[in-house]
A and B are shown apart, each in its own frame.
Chain A
Amino acid sequence: MGKIEWAMWANEQALASGLILLTGGIVGVAGQFRGWQFAAYGVAAGVFVCLLEYPRGKRSKGTSVARTGQYCFTVCVKAFGPLTRNYYVRAFLHAAICVPGGFMLATVLGCVCLGIASLIYLAAAIRGEHWEPILPRTETQRKPVPPSIKNPPSNPPPRPPPEMRRKRVDDLEGAAYDNPIPVTANEY
């Protein structure tokens, strides 16, 4: 289990918990349950958790898969700087948010799930992970051009094997081949 980034699973769990908290809250409010105020809190807390957890963080190793349309959420979450970057903060935040959910049946499941997510985030924080935003690549991030490219090439470009290159006057149609690299005229 060496290379696991716990934060990835914590993120999925927290997002699911947010949705469950939200659903439980809606049921509690719509059914006018006793203690519906806790359900209303559940709705608000659920929405908040979902917004916070929707943008996936960048993985330290490997490709990150962003969720659809997460860019604007990423920008909002990034704006809070160290508060959202640090997973200790998230762990304690989720632990704190989940507590009022335990006072009403409809939100109890959301509370427990969020508590579990908080524990996984704590594990991630202890292992030193932190949240990096996934941002679209900019021009400046391209690799610098290696120096040898500045000299004119010393070898010809790759060509198809000789039997294809030999002129075949009897079969002009078959003699044609497509250049794999587009050929453009010199600009000067």
Chain B
Amino acid sequence: MGNWIINHGLTSFILVVWMGINIFLFVWFYFFYDLGDQFFYTRHILGSALAWARAPAAVLNFNCLLILLPVCRNLLSLLRGSFVCCGRTMRKQLDKNLSFHKLVAYMIGLMTAVHMIAHLLNVEWYNNSRQGVYDKLSTALSNLEDSDNTTYLNPIRTTDIIPTYFVFTTIAGLTGVIITLCLILIITSSMEVIRRSYFEVFWYTHHLFVIFFAGLVFHGAGRIVRSQNMDTIPPHNFTFCKDRSDDWGRIPECPIPQFRGGFPQTWMWVIGPMVLYLCERLLRFIRYMQAVRYRKIVMRPSKVLELQLVKNGFTMEVGQYVFLNCPAISQLEWHPFTMTSAPEEDFFSVHIRSAGDWTNKLISIMEQLPEGAQGPKMGVDGPFGTASEDVFDYEVAMLVGAGIGVTPFASILKSIWYKFKESNPKLRTRKIYFYWLCRETHAFEWFADLLQVLEKEMDERGMGDFLTYNLYLTGWDQNLHFHVHYRDTDVVTGLKQKTHYGRPIWDKEFEKVRKENPTSVVGTFLCGPEALAKVLEKKCAKYSDVDPRKTKFYFNKENF
């Protein structure tokens, strides 16, 4: 239970606060429109559909404000930098920005549906009232003219139109339809199936949000939500006058009621985030214009491209990622890559696997470059992500990297080794156990090379047992069997002694670590699937000893 509070407490708290604000706004504005005196006459025609339309509108204002903020990644980086004092849990919340963006989007979708349905009813009832279908008061209200000494209540001014015509000839109606259409297109192209397979469709369609916000700001300009002006002299008391509509203007107690439209408020909510987002895109553009020099371009086995880049003023921490943009391939696409270099190096590197249109084109461009030439112009945005500096705090570290999750460990292992060589006091690690789990090592040969290089350097310093690593090939199929025995593959050359087939037996591993380190605090770090996280968490609890003199295991799950 305590574990859950530490891991999820702050996230849950933020969600509760957000939901609380939504509910408050909904209820407040619902009762504002459902009980307010100035809307008595409006409600006479529309009933509670008025409140049902205005309450989601308020929630929509709030959420449209929020939706732009989580995608301002440079702003978030700035916040993260200034939160250094406030602890990692706070900073980790900033890494969940996309989940929050999606949640807010769902709320916008839901509220749009409610808002739209309520307004469908409103338009229909306004139209009916105009045509005299309802009671005497309703007809009298709808007949109020828009002239010098009278103001109208019913925005439908003529008796011979259909609701569709009204919607398409008012600002509110037209902008409403257009932005709802944009919203629907954005949502359908953001479905996981489309997003994962055809990222370009998702990304380009998502830019319809520009039209969405433009339409949203003008949506209320027509001021068709009308309320009674209660400050007329003499005042019009609706309780007394509602049954005397024939006498309006003829008796002193009941002058003709005056109405006015509500002041459009949406722009007040969204102007701030719109400006921030504009600054964000501007900043990305500026970063993109900054010169990035290629220090080295290496083609690794299995179509993996290593790029070593240098950029002025660029600093990074372990486990962070950058976004790369190559205008020669695509002007608008930015793709994220975890960095594989250590902060101690004077360059930063990424290893790019062939995994789609953009990466394949990049690799083919690089393959055709002459020796020693600079690569195509590259824009770099970042670094982003919470740094995983906890790794350095533990005397003994168990690092588990599964599949693609092994990439940030390249950065971590290199950094640990640099810190060790420089006797950096921040490094408390004395022993590392590294477990590399993957189905097959295809596309990760560069990582195997890295491990062997590190091992050789450690051997040379007589530090042979600083790093113990093992590779577990968890995918078994006939092909692998053939490769191992009938072909000399690069894959497991040199690692033959440390290669195991099948998953590690965690009980044995934890036993071994405990036996070899009887009095230490062991930090366990995982970058991999949720199922494995649960297993490791249990083992850490099982093998930790209450006795402070004995071994203790602490589990840290990182999403690098």
Contact = CB atoms under 8 A, between A and B. Distances in A.
Given A20-B184, A108-B177, A116-B185, A180 B502 contact: yes
Interface string A95-128: 0000000111110110011001000000000000
A2 B181 contact: no
Contacts of B164: 102-105, 108
A113 B184 contact: yes
A109 to B, nearest CB: 6
Interface string B147-169: 00000000000000011100100
Nearest to B505: A178
A27 B116 CA distance: 11
Contacts, number: 100
Given A105-B167, A158-B501, A8 B181 contact: no
A12 B184 contact: no
A146 to B, nearest CB: 8
Nearest to A20: B184
Given A116-B185, A155-B485, A109 B180 contact: yes
A160 B500 CA distance: 7
A48 interface: no
Interface stretch (B193-201, B372-380, B441-449): B193-201
Interface in B125-141: 127-128
A1 B124 contact: no
Nearest to B117: A27
A149 B177 CA distance: 64
Given A9-B194, A33-B124, A23 B188 contact: no
Contact of B200 (A4, A28, A113): A4
Contact of A180 (B124, B478, B496, B501): B501
A43 to B, nearest CB: 14
A109 B181 contact: yes
Nearest to A161: B497
Interface residues of B: mostly helix, strand, loop or mixed?
Answer: helix
B120 interface: yes
B121 interface: yes
A33 B163 CA distance: 10
Contact of A105 (B123, B187, B191, B505): B123
A65 interface: yes
B205 to A, nearest CB: 8
Interface residue tally on A, bucketed by range = 35 or more
B193 A31 contact: no
Contacts of B177: 108-109, 112
B181 A112 contact: yes
A113 B183 CA distance: 11
B14 interface: no
A22 B498 CA distance: 61
B488 interface: no
Given A16-B184, A27-B121, A4 B198 contact: yes
A109 B357 contact: no
A161 B496 CA distance: 8
A74 interface: no
Given A9-B201, A13-B185, A180-B501, A31 B121 contact: yes
Nearest to B192: A65
A27 B197 contact: no
Given A3-B357, A180-B502, A8 B123 contact: no
A23 B117 contact: yes
Contacts of B123: 105
Contacts of A160: 500
A34 B124 contact: yes
A51 to B, nearest CB: 18
A105 B502 CA distance: 62
Contacts of A27: 117, 120-121
A62 interface: yes
A24 interface: yes
B240 to A, nearest CB: 32
Interface in A14-42: 16, 20, 23-24, 27-28, 31, 33-35
Contacts of B498: 161
Nearest to B113: A23
B468 to A, nearest CB: 14
Contacts of A62: 197
Contacts of B128: 34
B188 A12 contact: yes
Contacts of A65: 193
A158 B501 CA distance: 8
B184 A9 contact: no
Contacts of B227: none
B42 interface: no
Contacts of B180: 109
B21 interface: no
Contacts of A158: 481, 484-485, 501
Interface string B466-496: 0000000000101001001100000000001
Nearest to A64: B193
Given A27-B117, A105-B164, A109-B181, A8 B194 contact: yes
A16 B187 contact: yes
A149 to B, nearest CB: 8
B120 A9 contact: no
A12 B162 CA distance: 31
A168 to B, nearest CB: 14
Given A5-B198, A105-B120, A109-B116, 12 more contacts: A1-B357, A8-B194, A9-B189, A20-B184, A34-B124, A34-B162, A104-B163, A105-B123, A105-B162, A105-B164, A180-B476, A180-B501
15 contacts: A3-B198, A13-B188, A27-B121, A31-B124, A33-B120, A34-B124, A35-B162, A62-B197, A105-B162, A108-B164, A112-B181, A158-B485, A161-B498, A180-B501, A181-B476
Interface of A: 1-5, 8-9, 12-13, 16, 20, 23-24, 27-28, 31, 33-35, 56, 59, 62, 65, 102-106, 108-109, 112-113, 116, 146, 149, 155, 158, 160-161, 178, 180-181
**Smallest CB-CB A-B distances: 6 pairs:** A180-B502, A105-B163, A12-B188, A4-B198, A105-B164, A180-B501
